[in-house]
Structures are given as structure tokens and as C-alpha cells.
Amino acid sequence: MPELQQNLVDDITSVTTESWRTFRIMGEMVEALDTLNHLDRPCISIFGSARSHPDDAAYQAAEKMAGLLAGKGYGIITGGGPGIMEAANKGATEAGGVSVGLHIHLPHEQGCNPYVTTRCDFRYFFIRKFMFVKYAMAYVVMPGGMGTIDELSEAFVLAQTGRIRPFPIILYDSRYWQGLLDWLRTSMVERGYISSEEISRLITVCDTPEQVVDHLCKIIIL
């Protein structure tokens, strides 16, 4: 009997904990919406590896690109961490622009970079992803790892299925992304899992910061 009672207590505690978690989720979403609703200009979300260093070409390109976009009046949104995120926030801040960091708390804390001027903190990845999509007029996807691929694929699927308005998804550095694009255009297209029209309609590839800025300025009119 004591064992049965303990199991019942454990079950009740588990249900209660899960129920209260919904309030933490709601609170995190409300706080982020309240912060980001004050953004006063169209924003571009920039993604890329957290492991990129200041002497990497991708880091330098992200910094330059963000500075150019900020100079044109666009805000910059990143994950707020190191690497490409730091570079983009740095470029935006030093150009006097809006520099947003959507910082996620991880078991191995990576910390928020010092160039973020508008910061939101998240425990839950799915809320953070929602904010990237909601407040972005375009995605620029720099070279990165699985987290970068995750953000790219989610935006692609949402646009592909019409769950969000289609917006520009730019892959930066054709050499880096060529293998993925070849695989999409052969393995996936050949089996009918995706159409080549969807790829060409939703994805643009650029190789310089200037190309990215020129492309976005033609599509997103301030």
C-alpha cells in the first residue's frame, strides 16, 4: 500500500509540474512579444555557426552584411550567441542600427554576445523559433551546423506549406551550400518529394554581402 500511495503522489506531482509548465511557456511568449512589438522597422534574421571566429571569412561577411543592412534601415535579429550571431549583432550595432538577440539558455551556457541592444531570453526553442519567423522579413543563412540547418528547414517548410507568408530565404556562400542544393535537386526532386520550382522559388544563393543587400532592397521596400 505505501508503494501504491507513493506512485499516486508521483503521478499527481508530474501532472502538476506539466500544468505549471504551460504558464512558463505563456509567460515567456508574452514577454518576448511585448519586447519585440516595439521594433520600429523591418528586420532580417541572420543565422550561422556559433563556432565561427573573427578571423573567419563567414564571420567577417556577416559583420559587413549586417552593417550594410543596418545602414539601409533594416534591423538585425540573431540568436544572440557567439560566432556568426556575434558578427551580425556587431555589424548592426556599430552601424547604429537595431541589434536583436534571441538568446537561448542551454545546459552548456554560451552566453549572450555584447553587441545585442534588444535582448529576449528563452528556455524553449519552439518559442524562440516562432519569434524569428514572426519578426523577420527575410532569412539570411550563413555557413553553420545542425542548428542552422534546423532554422533553414523550418522556415522552408512553413513557407512551402503556406503556414507563413513566403519570404526571402538567402543561402550565403554557394560553395558551402552546393552539396545540399545538389542533393535536394537530385535525390528529393527525382523521387518526387519536392519540386524544383519550390527550391527556386523559395531559396536564393548569394556570395557577397553586397549581393545580399541588393537582393533584399529590391524585395523589401522600406
- The number of folded domains in the chain is 2
pLDDT tens for each residue of 3-51: 555 444 444 445 557 778 888 999 999 999 999 999 989 999 999 999 9
Same domain, 151 and 181: yes
> Do residues 80 and 119 both lie within one domain?
yes
Question: What pTM did the predictor assign?
Answer: 0.88
Q: What is the mean pLDDT of the chain?
A: 91
pLDDT at 165: 84
Residues 13 and 91 in one domain: no
| C-alpha distance from residue 86 to each of 46, 65, 160, 168 (Å) | 10, 13, 30, 22
Give the residue numbers spanning the domain of 5: 1-38
Q: CATH number of the domain at 49, please.
A: 3.40.50.450
The verdict on 28 and 54 lying in the same domain is: no
Tell whether 19 and 127 lie within a shared domain.
no
Domain identity same for 46 and 23? no
Q: What's residue 6's pLDDT? A: 46
Q: Which residue in this structure is represented by grid cell 521596400?
A: 221
- Residue 161 in grid coordinates: 506549406
pLDDT at 111: 83
pLDDT tens profile 56-87: 999 999 999 999 999 999 999 999 999 999 99
State whether 49 and 158 are in the same domain: yes
Neighbours of 216 (CB within 10 A): 23
Task: Specify whether 32 is located in the same domain as 60.
Answer: no
27 and 108 co-located in one domain: no
- pLDDT confidence band for 153 (50 / 70 / 90): very high
Shared-domain flag, residues 87 and 30: no
- Output the nine-digit C-alpha cell for 45: 534574421
Q: How many CB atoms lie within 10 A of CB 68?
A: 21
Amino acid at 112: C
